[in-house]
Chain A
Amino acid sequence: MRYICTCCGYVYDPAKGDAMNNVAVGVEFADLPEGWVCPLCYATQDKFDPLD
């Protein structure tokens, strides 16, 4: 499932992963490393809303 950053609108999509944070394609939002933050605005994971 995709998640959206409520601070900047960045969308975390498991199908794309997150190269800026060295996250491989296929990683679900719930499985991101604990210290993972929004690659655009550095918001923490609790600032994300489920999108789908």
Chain B
Amino acid sequence: MKRLSLALLVVFLAASVAGAQHIRIGGFGGNDTIIVEEMIELFVRPALEGTGITVQYEPVADDFQRYIINALSAGTAPDLFYMDVLWAGSLIQSGVVEPLNAYLEKSTVLKPEDIIPSLLDAFTVDGTIYGIPKDFNTLAVFYNKDLFDYAGVEYPNNEDTWDTFYAKLEQVAAIDPDIYGLALQPEFARFGALAFAAGFTPFNAEGKSDLSDPAFVEAIKWYTGMAETGVGVMPQDISQGWGGGALASEQVAVALEGAWIIGALKSDAPNLQYGACLMPKHPGTGQRGNFVYTVAWGMNAASAHKEAAFQVLEILTSPEVQQWVLERGLAIPSREALADNPYFQQDDPEAQANYVVFLGASDGNVLPFSFGSYGGDWTGPIDQALSAVMSKQATVEEALQEAQQRLDAVMGR
């Protein structure tokens, strides 16, 4: 009797598990919480009605990468999770991310060809796809129209080279000692795009990083030189955390940022008249440089409901959802078909800024913001060098020598 009831219980439990599949999605906290919750409410839940699949978003407020490493290692990770291109490589290498090729072959909705190839490549290792890019960002020149009007200077535009761009910034900075041309974030994540324009690549043919590369030296001198002449300023020195904050403060005329700045400007400086254009070209190479920042959906290799998780993934990357994301001005979706989207042609600063950011991914020397298995350890020494030079604690040569040593130590580990 006892045994029978136990068996019944087991059968009952198994049935209920098969009927209700609970898919957990892990991602960033903050703004993403609202966006993804709304996305799930508007698109995912209606589409999954009757399938018995339930979905829940689990935002992580602090250091997502640390969380996901811990969770995957401990076996408590969500079924679907964000993967930043910066650290996706080390997760994929560890074998905890499910290869998606088999699912993609069967899928009628989601095809690899639909996704912008350069984005997909960033999550493809030896022909195996490990993540579906959800959206991306690049850098663009965001400028305060009022400050340029006040100085009587032409706005930055897509034809600017470093020289003409510098001349414009110089004139704007001349308005007042407390007004600066460019927000100079001491980070490779901004400065690197300029180094790329000059022809620098993080890893040369031998796989080494050479900071004495003339292209790199030229770019760092140009960038940090602006701090010395007062044409630019580090956001930290005007009590701002980043370029967007500096632009919103109206003390700085230009910031090199991605589309993420749009939302921040909307809430922090709603009356700011801003415009956006492509990054300036290097006068020698005639090229622009840029980073592609992208985040993909990855699937947990240890997930109990992989088929259901992929179904959710299909909805999250569907054309309707991506159109919605685009129109909300949240990010630039990863589907190639969106290039001719009427949204981009609107006469609206947000839509135009988004379009500039979209174009940035395919113009000039564009590289993903990822540095092999070194991750943020690779950019750290360069960030420190930039900061040391711009706070006048070291010359460019001294700082680069130190950075090269530290970089060699990181790469030799």
Is B one of A's binding partners?
Answer: no
